[in-house]
Amino acid sequence: MTELSVLETVISLASRGGWVLIPIFCIGWYAWYLTVERYFFYRSLKRSPVRKFWKILKEQGDEAAAMYLKKKHKGYFTRLAEAALLQRASGPKAVEHALEAVRHDVGIELSKSMRSISVAASVAPLLGLLGTVSGMVHTFEIIEMFGFGNPVLLADGISEALLTTQAGLLVAFPLMLAYNYLSTRIDNLEDSVWKEALKLTSET
């Protein structure tokens, strides 16, 4: 399919579906952009050399472990471990406070844009419903003006109603699945990394 035919198809759908299709598609593209960006951000935080860090800390001490972390990607555990190592000389409470500060900052970063994705998944079917109502209103206006004698004109209004409903559901359903997937993965990451980081308080 050529670019011209794709453009013609999009224009045809937009003309039959009415103006509501435009915000539905815009919301869908924007939400998927945020979803992909959040996924790669999650992947970047997940990359932390946990096992290697514990081995170096046990065999060579804090200084060697800190030097090792400086050379590695700044994943979630790496950031927690660096903050904890800086405060280990001050005692367990200082380590806990340092961990909580990093956890708070990373939590804000992780939750960024997640609410927008959820809102987009909720708004898309509502816009589809709005398009349905608009299409039915259009259909009744045609019936009032021309009666039931012209099925082509009636089909335009019904097509507008059905296309917008379909578009809203097609945007919302995969977005909600992606949102739930990301939320679960983020929660699991926070739990697993935090459990590992808390070991630094007992190692002081």
Q: How many domains does the chain have?
A: 1
On whether residue 88 sits in a domain, the answer given is yes
Rounded Cα distance, 37 and 51, in Å: 28
On whether residue 45 sits in a domain, the answer given is yes
On whether residue 178 sits in a domain, the answer given is yes
User: How many angstroms separate the Cα of 32 from the Cα of each of 25, 54, 101?
Assistant: 11, 37, 30
pTM for the whole thing?
A: 0.77
On whether residue 8 sits in a domain, the answer given is no
pLDDT tens digits for the chain (204 residues)? Answer: 454 454 455 555 555 656 778 888 889 999 999 999 999 988 888 887 788 888 887 888 878 887 878 877 788 888 888 888 888 777 888 888 888 998 899 888 888 889 999 999 999 999 888 888 877 777 777 777 766 666 666 666 677 777 888 888 889 999 999 999 999 999 998 898 888 888 887 654
On whether residue 94 sits in a domain, the answer given is yes
On whether residue 10 sits in a domain, the answer given is no
Domain hosting 41: range is: 22-202
On whether residue 9 sits in a domain, the answer given is no
On whether residue 171 sits in a domain, the answer given is yes
Q: Which of 38, 23, 43 is nearest to 179 (CA)?
A: 38
> For the chain, how big is the Rg over CA atoms in Å?
27
